[in-house]
Amino acid sequence: MEKRKIKWNTIGRSLNVPVNGELVYIDIDEDFDADDFDDGPVRVRCEGPNGLKAGSVVGMLQQLGLSAEQILDLRAEGVLDGDDFYNIGATWEPFEPEVYYDTTKPPAKPSIAEPTVPPEVTPEELANFDQLGPEEVLNMLERARRRFSGRC
């Protein structure tokens, strides 16, 4: 498979999180694939006090001594968002743009002989989805997902 270089965007932000009654400052850099931004960050680099480094926000919070329950409470309070739960367990790695490669090859265009799946779910399918088999329902849901995410 051919590799293509990912077009990336780095977004920097910070968090102040309560740890043992004190607010602790965390510096966060998140690298996103510019072509697939909705899939969350490709890589996360967090730096905290005393030289602490982690490859995920949750990993940094764990290093700071927060329990899973405290981390989920921060999520419920709106301090953390969904992207903060990406890459849990990843190690901290410095930014190196040359390592950002996607090894997937774009899908081949169907030939005229190959049937294509219609990109939109028809009203008839929706009205009768409870009578379809599991594979047909999954196919229909996948087409709906692609339609609403703009990847028809």
Looking at residue 64, what is its pLDDT?
92
90 pLDDT tier (thresholds 50, 70, 90): confident
CA-to-CA distance for 58 and 81, rounded, in angstroms? 11
CA-to-CA distance for 22 and 66, rounded, in angstroms? 12
Residue 48: strand, helix, or coil: coil
State the average pLDDT for the chain: 76
4 pLDDT tier (thresholds 50, 70, 90): low
pLDDT digits (tens, 9 = 90+) for 27-54: 998 887 777 767 777 788 899 998 999 9
Give alpha helix (H) positions in 1-152.
57-63, 68-76, 123-127, 134-149
CB 31 within 8 A of CB 42: yes
Say whether pTM exceeds 0.85: no
